[in-house]
Amino acid sequence: MTIQRFTRALIPTVKETPAEATNASHQLLLRGGYIRQIGAGIYDFLPLGLRVLRKIENIVRTEMDRAGASEVLMPAMLPAEYFQETGRWDVYGPVLLRIKDRKGGDYHLGPTHEEIITDMVRREVKSYRQLPLNLYQIQMKFRDEPRPRGGLMRCREFVMKDAYSFDIDEAGAVKSYETMREAYRKIFTRLGLTFRIVQADSGAIGGKTSAEFQILADSGEDAIVACDNCDYAANVEAAEVAAEPAASGTAAGEIEKVHTPGKGGIVDVAAFLKADVKDFLKSLLYVTDQNELVMACLRGDHEVNEIKLANAVGAREIHLASEGDVVKATGAKVGYAGPVKFNGRIVVDPSGAAIASAITGANETDHHIKGVSFARGDYKAEVKGIRSAGAGDRCPQCDKGRFKAYKGIEGGHIFILGTHYSSKMNATYLDEKGDKKPIVMGCYGIGVSRLIASAIEQHHDKDGIRWPMPIAPYQVVVATLGNDAAMMEAGEKLARELEERGVEVLWDDRDERPGVKFKDADLIGIPLRATIGAKTLATASCELKRRDSADPKAFDLIPLAEAADRIAAEVKKAMV
Amino acid sequence: MTIQRFTRALIPTVKETPAEATNASHQLLLRGGYIRQIGAGIYDFLPLGLRVLRKIENIVRTEMDRAGASEVLMPAMLPAEYFQETGRWDVYGPVLLRIKDRKGGDYHLGPTHEEIITDMVRREVKSYRQLPLNLYQIQMKFRDEPRPRGGLMRCREFVMKDAYSFDIDEAGAVKSYETMREAYRKIFTRLGLTFRIVQADSGAIGGKTSAEFQILADSGEDAIVACDNCDYAANVEAAEVAAEPAASGTAAGEIEKVHTPGKGGIVDVAAFLKADVKDFLKSLLYVTDQNELVMACLRGDHEVNEIKLANAVGAREIHLASEGDVVKATGAKVGYAGPVKFNGRIVVDPSGAAIASAITGANETDHHIKGVSFARGDYKAEVKGIRSAGAGDRCPQCDKGRFKAYKGIEGGHIFILGTHYSSKMNATYLDEKGDKKPIVMGCYGIGVSRLIASAIEQHHDKDGIRWPMPIAPYQVVVATLGNDAAMMEAGEKLARELEERGVEVLWDDRDERPGVKFKDADLIGIPLRATIGAKTLATASCELKRRDSADPKAFDLIPLAEAADRIAAEVKKAMV
């Protein structure tokens, strides 16, 4: 093997923070010479960036293979006929990048490959004997995102691992799904990432057929909650909430009307009345896709989850009523709606129904009412969970723990597709009796290039990246300070000894000041740095520094004679 | 590791030869379950196909890295501005697949990446200290070929390795070129292919800055000649031809006119006159791009090389004169032109000029003349090499050997670009004196997915593929005949022992007749087959058969206790 010298590599580090980059990973990928933009959401991977990408790919590949999946490779340029067959050619919209070939034929770039893999399987699979089957690929995907952003976080051309499972029935599909869930758990663990397996939908099957792998990071776009006691985690939108205990009592006194002039917002009214926001019964008017008006009531500090509300009232879609509709329905300006004496359908969240004595709108401009009790029958409503979960909520799974709130980056998504594609595309098999049946599918994605950015969001400090060992572009950087013959010889010797032990090493052989070399090593984020200076060389030793050390000044002084063995052992230990 | 069982793999072999496939590799790739077409020139790689692709990629990658090149990855979807900068956006024509994004911006899919890599380098390289640099990628390329054909031979989406070198001057570029030439030689050798390094142009620099790596195969589209004595090889169109000795004598008698009624073609006239075609001086009229009429004369059995002819007369382009022009210039119908008394510019090939007594057209319909001698001055002409080389021609390099003719498939192409792109795109560096200079580039391609097809064209028989060991999808297939517990146990044990020794093994565990398993193993082309049948199991042994054995019935009977070690040793030996 040839030793990778810094002077012969293309690692163009940059001191200044590029103006166009707002998140840490985007800034550090540019500054560390990992990627370069050539168009909106379109990037060159420079040598360091590609090394990290390949490392992630290889971990993904190994675990997919171990889970019994077979790797294939489908084209990126796809004839329109497959998406036309399922109708997606028409409904996909501008995200789909369309092409005309020289004969005027319709093509598009693959944003995902359900149709293509279903076509492959319907052609080759005839019998139940050939199932189950799990096929995956690691490939460039193309989506014309409306707002590409965050460097590798949301690109128009990006690397994805997409896998598809094929089973004879739903039970088989669930088994394939569980196998993938476990493989994903291993993948994300081996990548050195802190993550949560998150329930992503609150659909009919109880969320057991869909999960997201969320990488925890403050800059994440997804709000998630996770139990502090069990492994339950969910997107805030999808999280179930444990039913609160029924109202402990009823309001002591009668309903009392209070004058709250010009105080529409709950926080303002609460301040004005010197009351707790949690004592308020917030009431919002919605209109369904069937044009039904619905009042949603919930505790003052909670938020409506429109998906849950739509499910609760049996609507496909739902939106907030217009100001005019509110005035018409309540007889009051917006901000004064309430369930008491409201003439229409009302849904109340259990935590709202549980308020013993609530303050709510009086359906009269500039007025609220106090002392309202659902238990006493002050108003009639359907009690259904319609609110988004938040920190502090009780866990619906263990019924003991409380939710903590996190921000997450979606790194993977697994779900059971059922027969959606196989039915439309006639992908069937003959069962043991010779009956034709649709194949039951599952689908499993990992945003491979996004994981590069996600890992950095989770592993960086003010000086640069702090790569987890398994995905670092190099495991060790050997920095030689000075370039006299003895120094160069010592540096090359250590680099070579490390390579002979299977360690991936970058030798910073540049004619640069120590400060420049240290700053670059920290920026690039190589986990271990072995420095040979004039003083250490005089004592035949080197300084070993760890990028993730809590004390940035800490190092071990190691005899050069032992350095390669000790460093190799440390690298091996850090490979999960 | 999990053992790959045939029953859990997607290897859909097919008995019938698909009608759409005309060449052997296309047929066998389809029949062996390696690839499937989803559109014209667009293919799915099934698991076996992808395994071969990855093996080739890895050999290419290893040798590129050893040669000091750094791997990068550029996008496939490219903003138009880069090709616009060099003018290729306008001149590339319909081969370029163009895209409009949601904002109406112009993009295209990358057919090659000179502009993008030049942009990368001009942004990051400032000083001579950063040079030389060699960057490469292995990536899907897209070209809207007018006639995609031959399976993986000519696709619209295909895998290419493209490398680009950057040097301070021409001498450096030549050095980079030589390094790549040597790396390519290693790559093609390690792939187990028989190839020739072929001179591809007959340009001014003597062809030393451009070479093709041609894989020899009867089905190849490129005609090449190679010396039987030295390493000279060239495309027929580009091959130089050693100067023939001057005419050994002159015609014995006077020029004699003969009547050759209705005999326009040389073969017909030769038969009619009972003469050898080699005694004919063939005369063809051409028109240059400057509208000059030129007569090209050469021996009757030779062919005009229009590139050489154009170079010889100083034209950029040249085409055959129209019938009308021929009549006008010679006073005779087409087929009776000759240099004697022809009033215009004449170029004669040395081998034509060397004919002692030639037969040629009389410039009179239905008449030829005999006894024509250039040495005697029967006609005046410029003597220049204007013919294509062929089998039997003397080698211009060693001046001893003779050419043999081959058919070849272009597997790789290396050439020096000079400053073509760097000048247009302002990719410069500062030299030691601080002067700005253009970077000198080279460019080096390998058609990675085409190599799959090429290897099969070279390595197959009537039963299927015969993979060279280094690129076989699996190195060994273990075939168990029968599926009782003892047999399955023996098969799994051998497969596992092989895997533990680093051998890539496919276990044919199907419930199929022996004949089906043998036929599939031959078709797929795994180099070694270890068969365990009831009889061999009774004696604790297996039959080891080699796919490339001259005798298809030959096998070794090996004790199962020794099988894994012996097979592993044989595999290791076969890995070049």
Contacts of A76 in chain B (CB under 8 A): 76, 140, 142, 157
Give the tens place of pLDDT for each residue, B366-385. Answer: 999 999 999 999 999 999 98
Residue A205 pLDDT class (50, 70, 90 cuts): very low
Give percent above pLDDT 70 in chain A: 96
Query: A62-90 in b/e burial notation, b at 16+ Cβ within 10 A?
Result: ebbbebbbbbbbbbbbbbbebbebbebbe
- In the numeric block, the tokens 């220049």 are attached to B384
Q: How far is B158 from chain A (nearest CA, A)?
A: 9
Question: In this structure, are residues B441 and B121 in contact, taking their beta carbons and an 8 Å threshold?
Answer: no
Q: Do B75 and A144 touch (CB under 8 A)?
A: no
Q: How far is B9 from chain A (nearest CA, A)?
A: 7
What pLDDT, on a 0 to 100 scale, did the predictor assign at position A204? Answer: 39
Give the tens place of pLDDT for each residue, A481-531. Answer: 998 999 999 999 999 999 999 999 999 999 999 999 999 999 999 999 999
Query: Does any CB of chain A come closer than 8 Å to the CB of residue B53?
Result: yes
Of A250-254, A512-516, B454-458, B501-505, the poorest mean pLDDT is in: A250-254
**What tokens were used for B83?**
């090709």
Query: Does any CB of chain B come closer than 8 Å to the CB of residue A343?
Result: no
3-state secondary structure of B70: strand
Size of interface A-B (CB pairs under 8 A): 157
In DSSP terms, which residues pair with A121 in a beta bridge? none
What pLDDT, on a 0 to 100 scale, did the predictor assign at position B207? Answer: 42
Query: Does any CB of chain A come closer than 8 Å to the CB of residue B123?
Result: yes
- B246 pLDDT above the threshold of 60: no
Please tell me the number of Cα atoms within 13 Å of B530 on its side-chain side: 34
Contacts of B94 in chain A (CB under 8 A): 102
Residue of B473, B468, B566 whose CA lies nearest to B6: B473
Tell me the residue ranges of DSSP E strands in B86-126.
98-100, 106-109
Residue of B99, B140, B167 to mutate when probing chain A, most A C-beta within 10 A:
B99
- Selecting from B1, B45, B144 the residue whose C-beta is nearest the C-beta of A102 gives B144
Domain layout of chain B by residue ranges? 34-74+112-240+404-455, 256-383, 463-574
- Which residues are CB-neighbours of B180 under 8 A, at least 6 positions away? B67, B134, B163, B165, B414, B442, B444
Q: Do A123 and B68 touch (CB under 8 A)?
A: no
Question: In this structure, are residues A9 and A526 in contact, taking their beta carbons and an 8 Å threshold?
Answer: no
Look up the CATH number of domain A256-383.
3.90.960.10
Contacts of A39 in chain B (CB under 8 A): 75, 77-79, 107
ipTM summary value: 0.89
What pLDDT, on a 0 to 100 scale, did the predictor assign at position A254? Answer: 86
In DSSP terms, which residues pair with B430 in a beta bridge? B127, B436
Q: Is the peptide bond before A552 cis (omega within 30 degrees of 0)?
A: no
Give percent above pLDDT 90 in chain B: 84
- Which residues are CB-neighbours of A361 under 8 A, at least 6 positions away? A283, A330, A332, A335, A336, A337, A338, A367, A368, A369
Residue of A2, A8, A35, A38 to mutate when probing chain B, most B C-beta within 10 A:
A38
**CA dihedral (B310, B313, B315, B319) positive or negative:** negative
What pLDDT, on a 0 to 100 scale, did the predictor assign at position B35? Answer: 98
Query: Does any CB of chain B come closer than 8 Å to the CB of residue A427?
Result: no
Give percent above pLDDT 70 in chain B: 96
Give the tens place of pLDDT for each residue, A24-72. Answer: 999 999 999 999 999 999 999 999 999 999 999 999 999 999 999 999 9
pTM for the predicted model, two decimal places: 0.89
Parallel, antiparallel or unpaired: strands A528-532 and A476-480: parallel
CATH: 3.40.50.800, 3.10.20.70, 3.10.180.10, 3.30.930.10. Which one for A474-574?
A: 3.40.50.800
Taking the C-alpha atoms of residue A70 and residue A137, their distance in angstroms, rounded to an integer, is: 8
**What tokens were used for A346?**
């009302």
Tell me the residue ranges of DSSP E strands in A110-228.
133-142, 157-167, 195-199, 210-216, 222-227
Query: Does any CB of chain B come closer than 8 Å to the CB of residue A9?
Result: yes
Taking the C-alpha atoms of residue B55 and residue B47, their distance in angstroms, rounded to an integer, is: 12
What pLDDT, on a 0 to 100 scale, did the predictor assign at position B249? Answer: 58
Q: How far is B358 from chain A (nearest CA, A)?
A: 50
- Which residues are CB-neighbours of A374 under 8 A, at least 6 positions away? A247, A348, A352, A353, A354, A355, A358, A381, A383
For chain A, how are helix, strand and coil distributed in percent, rounded to 5? 30, 30, 40
**CA dihedral (B240, B241, B245, B250) positive or negative:** negative
What pLDDT, on a 0 to 100 scale, did the predictor assign at position A383? Answer: 93
Taking the C-alpha atoms of residue A426 and residue A436, their distance in angstroms, rounded to an integer, is: 10
Is A392 exposed, middle or buried, given 0-12, 13-18 or 19+ CB atoms closer than 10 A? exposed
- Which residues are CB-neighbours of A477 under 8 A, at least 6 positions away? A505, A506, A507, A508, A521, A524, A526, A528, A529, A530
- B120 pLDDT above the threshold of 90: yes
Question: Between A63 and A396, whose confidence is greater?
Answer: A63
Query: What count of other Cβ atoms lies within 10 Å of the Cβ of residue B261?
Result: 8
Q: Which fold has domain A24-74+113-240+404-455?
A: BirA Bifunctional Protein; domain 2 (3.30.930)
Give the tens place of pLDDT for each residue, A93-137. Answer: 899 999 999 999 999 999 999 999 999 999 999 999 999 999 999
What pLDDT, on a 0 to 100 scale, did the predictor assign at position B422? Answer: 95
Residue of A4, A6, A7, A10 to mutate when probing chain B, most B C-beta within 10 A:
A10
Taking the C-alpha atoms of residue B92 and residue B142, their distance in angstroms, rounded to an integer, is: 13
- A402 pLDDT above the threshold of 60: yes
**What tokens were used for B268?**
């017909």
- CATH class of this structure's domain B463-574: alpha beta
**What tokens were used for B327?**
């009549």
Residue A262 pLDDT class (50, 70, 90 cuts): confident
Superfamily of domain B34-74+112-240+404-455: Bira Bifunctional Protein; Domain 2 (3.30.930.10)
Taking the C-alpha atoms of residue A161 and residue A60, their distance in angstroms, rounded to an integer, is: 8
Taking the C-alpha atoms of residue A142 and residue B132, their distance in angstroms, rounded to an integer, is: 34
3-state secondary structure of A238: coil
Query: Does any CB of chain A come closer than 8 Å to the CB of residue B116?
Result: yes
